[in-house]
């Protein structure tokens, strides 16, 4: 009987110690990544920030000046969301894909290959294509498909005036630099390895030397861990979003209750509402994740949300930003 009592006592002490350990590490204030993160929404505002994903790809031709101007003017967005690639001549441009076939009319000029890659063209060559060609509106129409003909003499001028050329990153900064000094940007570097390093250098140079007042308005993300490491080591003054590895580490340690030991050093946690790992579905739309991130000065941004009920749900959790293809729907939901 005494032996059984001792075993139970030892078990009780072990369980109490474990419980105390988890209580202590979740009470200790964590080290803040940032004390003035502009991507964390004002607590007095009930709705999350609105980020127009690709400029609002359901309302305008994605990643074009037309889309971004409309997003700012018509939908009063808080954040521009975009993806960047580097051209053959080292210019950084907006595009979700590394090739231009889905949105442009490049195949009318060259149908000898299935994909035409941005890295194979100079910026001036890319400006010749109509990036409104592949856009289909909510009624199923293609409003910009016949905007210009292949051999039209003033083709480039028409596309430029309509905001439907490929968009250079610097041109978007220039467009809003004076008019919207508080506009925020989420930029994802899509190239990996050497081209990704070159894109990071070009972006840092642009923000440091031409648009310094936007430097703390731009958070840079990537799915490439080597580019995330390059940003951390070689571009320390730029704000970073969590890479895939960074996000996984933060979320797993939060779910296990040991997030205090996670060495997060990113500004924004950009995540979907759920994620599958080896067939196991993790739900990420959790108030605990948002609360822990805020304790560390990290903003939480969810992508890509095109459903009204899901928008309301995420807002109720206190997330900082909803990235959506449909800023029109967001404004209908929140007013």
What are 12-69's pLDDT values in tens digits? 565 555 444 444 445 454 566 677 899 999 988 889 999 999 999 999 999 999 999 9
Sort 204 into a burial class: Cβ within 10 Å, 0-12 / 13-18 / 19+.
middle
pLDDT > 60? residue 2: no
For residue 138, tell me if it sits in a domain: yes
Alpha carbons 276 and 28: distance in angstroms, whole number: 31
Phi, psi of 122, rounded to the nearest 5 degrees: -80, 165
Does 129 map to a domain?
A: yes
- State the angle between helix axes of 327-334 and 308-317 in degrees (0 to 180), rounded to the nearest 10: 60
Q: Are 56 and 81 in contact (CB under 8 A)?
A: no
Q: For residue 301, tell me if it sits in a domain.
A: no
What are the residues whose beta carbons fall under 8 Å from the beta carbon of 124, sequence distance 6 or more? none
- Find where tokens 């941005």 sit: 118
Task: Say how far apart CA 335 and CA 331 lie, in whole Å.
Answer: 5
Task: With respect to residue 111, please indicate whether it lies within any of the assigned structural domains.
Answer: yes
199 phi/psi in degrees, rounded to 5:
-65, -40
Read off the pTM.
0.88
Is the predicted pLDDT of residue 320 greater than 50, yes or no? Answer: yes
Tokens of 44: 């007095």
Q: Could you tell me what percent of the chain has a pLDDT over 70? A: 89
pLDDT at 23: 45
318, pLDDT greater than 70:
yes
Q: In this structure, are residues 173 and 132 in contact, taking their beta carbons and an 8 Å threshold?
A: no
DSSP state of 99: B
Confidence of residue 115 (pLDDT cuts 50, 70, 90): very high
Could you tell me how many residues make up the chain? 335
What stretch of H or E contains 233?
A: helix 225-234
Q: Does residue 130 belong to any structural domain of this protein?
A: yes
Mean pLDDT (the chain, rounded)? 90
Whether 157 has a pLDDT exceeding 90, the answer reads yes
127 in a domain, yes or no? yes
- H-state helical runs in 36-135: 65-75, 106-109, 123-126
Closest CA to 256 of 11, 15, 17, 25: 25
The C-alpha angle with vertex 105 and arms to 102 and 110, in degrees rounded to 5, equals: 105
Mean pLDDT along residues 284-307 = 94
Task: Show the domain range for 108.
Answer: 99-165
pLDDT above 80: residue 184: yes
Query: Percentage of residues in the chain with pLDDT exceeding 90?
Result: 77
Band the pLDDT of 98: cuts 50, 70, 90: very high
Residue 135 domain flag: yes
Query: Residue 111 has what pLDDT?
Result: 92
**Does residue 255 surpass a pLDDT of 60?**
yes
Nearest to 117 by CA among 139, 93, 141, 133: 93
Q: What's the confidence (pLDDT) of residue 12? A: 56
Domain count of the fold of the chain? 1
| Residue 310: inside a domain | no
């Amino acid at each position: 009987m005494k032996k059984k009592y001792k075993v139970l006592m030892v078990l009780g002490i072990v369980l109490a110690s474990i419980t105390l350990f988890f209580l202590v590490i979740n009470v200790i204030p964590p080290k803040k990544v940032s004390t003035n993160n502009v991507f964390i929404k004002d607590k007095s505002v009930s709705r999350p920030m609105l980020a127009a994903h690709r400029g609002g790809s359901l309302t305008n031709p994605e990643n074009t000046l037309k889309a971004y101007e409309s997003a700012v003017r018509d939908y009063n967005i808080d954040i521009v969301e975009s993806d960047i690639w580097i051209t053959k001549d080292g210019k950084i441009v907006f595009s979700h894909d590394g090739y231009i076939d889905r949105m442009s009319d490049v195949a009318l000029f060259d149908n000898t290959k299935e994909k035409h890659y941005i890295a194979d063209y100079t910026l001036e060559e890319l400006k010749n294509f109509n990036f409104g060609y592949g856009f289909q509106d909510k009624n199923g129409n293609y409003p910009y498909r016949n905007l210009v003909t292949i051999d039209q003499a003033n083709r480039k001028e028409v596309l430029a005036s309509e905001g439907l050329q490929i968009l250079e990153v610097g041109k978007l900064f220039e467009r809003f630099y004076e008019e919207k000094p508080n506009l925020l940007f989420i930029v994802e570097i899509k190239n990996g390895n050497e081209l990704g390093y070159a894109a990071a250098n070009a972006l840092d140079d642009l923000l440091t030397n031409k648009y310094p007042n936007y430097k703390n308005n731009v958070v840079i993300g990537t799915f490439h861990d080597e580019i995330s490491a390059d940003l951390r080591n070689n571009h320390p003054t730029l704000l970073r979003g969590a890479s895939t590895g960074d996000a996984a580490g933060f979320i797993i340690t939060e779910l296990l209750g040991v997030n205090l030991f996670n060495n997060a050093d990113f500004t924004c946690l950009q995540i979907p509402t759920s994620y599958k790992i080896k067939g196991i579905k993790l739900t990420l739309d959790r108030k605990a994740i948002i609360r822990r991130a805020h304790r560390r000065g990290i903003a939480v941004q969810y992508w890509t949300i095109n459903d009204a009920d899901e928008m309301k749900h995420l807002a109720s959790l206190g997330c900082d930003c909803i990235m959506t293809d449909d800023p029109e729907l967001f404004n209908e939901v929140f007013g």
